Amino acid sequence: MPALEAVRAFYIDGLGWEAALLVPDDVLMIRVHGTPEQMPIDNYYVVSEEGIVDLGPAYGVVPVMGRTVEEATEAIRFSLRRLIPYIDVSVQLARSEAAEQISGDYPVQIDGTVNLGRYGIVNVAGKTVAETRELLLKHLDQYFESLQLGVDVIGYNSEGYYVIVAELNSAERIRRFRVTGNETVLDAISNLDGLSQVSSKTMWVARAVPGGVHGEQILPVDWDAIARGGVSTANYQLMPGDRLFIVDDNLMAANSFIGRVTTPLARLLSIGSLGADSIRGMQVTGRNYNRLRRY
């Protein structure tokens, strides 16, 4: 069974888009200069189910469905010039039915795809929010122009990421932190109150391979670039289920390990030395006591 993707659902905001091809229920603002004063064309017109706009009894109907706004403008101008030779036509998209239809919540399917209905299917598996937005923009460019698109995550399948600190004695300290959608490697280290004395700068992010493929992605972390250089590209955004591994510094960890081993021995040797000194003292005291008894 394919693994579930980290992101469960996106909210796609298409308000403000201008549809490349007009569809029924789109609303056009049509202004025509040069018409008789008693029969003006200066109003909002709805594209009917048949794909036409009705300019009134005096001017008739004009097919516009499947055309761009520019093409619709030219079609209206051509139709009216048969009646009025000298006119100026202006057409604007006042409301896009397509934009309203595409705005909403979109679940990420188990295979990592998002179904946009009449506008097709887009695979967003393993993508960040920014990458998803660019992918959707590129895909929808064939249907829309002047795209203004907002994409937000509204749900995750998993709500946490993990920080694992590997130690020299093969022990691993694991801490889990909640994901809200904006956490980075720097945030994770901050949640640990910084790197410990024995922690090295060797670290990486392990991430499940998208699409249900067995394995994982390994993203090396350049700590110096993040902490001292301020390189944002090295400061990976953490996704739900990510594991940030931090490896102990070998020298410091070795010293710590040696200290843990030798300290108990030193204590035993100290106790042994103290016992020997005590026995030796008792022997000396005993000899002195026996010498005094002879007198």
**Same domain assignment for residues 117 and 208:** no
**Same domain assignment for residues 184 and 235:** yes
**Same domain assignment for residues 111 and 46:** no
Show the 3-state SS of the chain: CCCCCCEEEEEEECCCCEECCCCCCCEEEEEEECCCCCCCEEEEEECCCCCEEECCCCCCEEECCCCCHHHHHHHHHHHHCCCCCCCEEEEEEEECHHHHHHCEEEECCCCCEEECHHHCEEECCCCCHHHHHHHHHHHHCCCEECCCCEEEEEEECCCEEEEEEECCCCCEEEEEEECCCCCEHHHHHHHCCCCCCCEEEEEEEEEECHHHCCCEEEEEEEHHHHHCCCCHHHCCECCCCCEEEEEECHHHHHHHHHHHHHHHHHHHHHHHHHHHHHHHHHHHHHHHHHHHHCC
Q: Which residues contact 262 (CB under 8 A, 6 or more apart)?
A: none
Residue, of 167 and 217, whose pLDDT is higher: 217
Whether 113 is in a domain gets the answer yes
- Calculate mean pLDDT across residues 151-170: 74
**Same domain assignment for residues 141 and 175:** no
**Same domain assignment for residues 140 and 36:** no
Which of 141, 156, 171 is the last residue before a domain boundary? 156
Q: What is the pTM of this model?
A: 0.39
Q: What percent of the chain has pLDDT over 90?
A: 18
**Same domain assignment for residues 86 and 135:** no
The CATH number of whichever domain residue 165 belongs to comes to 3.10.560.10
Which of 233, 248, 263 is the last residue before a domain boundary? 248
**Same domain assignment for residues 105 and 185:** no
**Same domain assignment for residues 90 and 122:** no
- Give how many domains the chain has, as a whole number: 3
**Same domain assignment for residues 42 and 177:** no
Q: Which of 230, 177, 15 is nearest to 104 (CA)?
A: 15
The CATH number of whichever domain residue 48 belongs to comes to 3.30.1950.10
**Same domain assignment for residues 62 and 185:** no
**Which pLDDT tens digit goes with each residue over 24-75?**
888 999 999 999 989 999 999 999 999 999 999 999 999 999 898 899 999 9
Q: Which domain holds residue 193?
A: 160-248
Whether 39 is in a domain gets the answer yes
**Which pLDDT tens digit goes with each residue over 188-231?**
888 887 776 555 678 899 987 765 556 678 888 888 888 887 77
Whether 105 is in a domain gets the answer yes
